[in-house]
Structure 1
Amino acid sequence: MRPFIAMNAAISIDGKLTTADRDLHGFGGPEDRALMEDLRAEADAVMIGAGTLREEDPPLTIKAVEKVAHRRDAGKPDQPDGVIVSRSLDFPVKGSRFFETPGVRRFVVCGDDAPKDRVEGLKGAAEVIAVSTASGDLDLEQAVAELGERGMRHLLLEGGGSLNFAMIAAGLVDRIHLTICPLVFGGDKAPTAFGGAGFPGASVRPLVLESVRQGASGRLFLSYRAKASARR
Structure 2
Amino acid sequence: MIDSLPADDAALALAYAHPLAEGRPYVRANMISSLDGSSTAAGRSGGLGGDGDRRVFAALRAAADVVLVGAATVRDEDYGTPAHPALAIVTRGSIPRTERLYPAGGAEPIVYSGNGGSVDLRSVLDDLYTRGHRRILAEGGPGVLGALLAAGLVDELCLTVAPVLVGGDGARIVRGPDLPLGHWQRGPVLGDDEGFLYTRWAR
TM-score, L = length of structure 1: 0.72
Residues 135-190 of structure 1: CA distance to partner in whole angstroms, max 9, x if unpaired? x64211111001100110001011111111111111111111111001111223x1
- Residue 109 of structure 1, CA deviation: 1.2
Give the alignment of 1:214-225 within 5 angstroms.
214-225=191-202
8 Å Cα contact 1:83-1:106 kept in structure 2: yes
1:59, 1:101 within 8 Å by CA — same for their partners in 2?
A: no
Q: Does 1:142 align with 2:123?
A: yes
Aligned counterparts of 1:110 and 1:55: Cα–Cα separation in 2: 18
TM-aligned CA deviation for residue 94 of structure 1: 2.6
TM-score (norm 2): 0.81
Q: Does 1:163 align with 2:144?
A: yes
Alpha-carbon deviations, 1:102-132, whole Å to 9, x = none? 5434201111xx17xxxxxxxxxxxxxxxxx
Structure with higher Rg: it is 1
Structure 2 residue aligned with 1:184: 165
* Residue 34 of structure 2: aligned partner: 12
Aligned residue for 1:184, secondary structure, equals coil
Q: 1:205 to 1:88 in 2, by over 3 A?
A: farther
Aligned twin of 2:92: 87
- Measured in 1, the distance between the counterparts of 2:112 and 2:143 equals 15
Which consecutive aligned stretches of 4+ in structure 1 deviate over 4 angstroms post-superposition? Answer: none
* Aligned-partner residue type, residue 213 of structure 1: L
Aligned counterpart, 1:47: 68
Q: Is the Cα contact below 8 Å between 1:79 and 1:103 reproduced in 2?
A: no
Distance 1:212 1:174 in 2: 17
Contact 2:102/2:108 (<8 A) preserved: no
Query: How far apart are the structure 1 equivalents of 2:53 and 2:185?
Result: 21
Q: 1:224 to 1:57 in 2, by over 3 A?
A: same
Counterparts of 1:23 and 1:169, CA distance in 2: 24
What corresponds to 1:30 in structure 2? 51
Q: Distance in 2 between matches of 1:98 and 1:204?
A: 37
CA RMSD of the aligned region, Å? 2.0
CA contact (8 A) 2:73 2:141 kept: yes
Secondary structure at the counterpart of residue 48 of structure 2: coil
- For 1:64-109, what per-residue CA distance to the aligned partner results, in whole angstroms no more than 9, with x for missing partners? xxxxxxxxxxxxxx511001011222x43234x2332754342011
Give the 3-state SS of the residue equivalent to 2:125 in structure 1. Answer: helix
Structure 2 unaligned spans of 5+ = 1-22
Structure holding more helix per residue:
1
Q: Is the 8 A contact 2:81 2:102 kept in 1?
A: no
Alignment-derived partner of residue 79 in structure 2: 58
Tell me the residue number matched to 1:72. Answer: none
Q: Give the conservation status (yes or no) of the 8 Å contact 2:44–2:77.
A: no
Q: SS of 1:204's equivalent? A: coil
Which of the residues 134, 139, 153 maps onto 1:153? 134
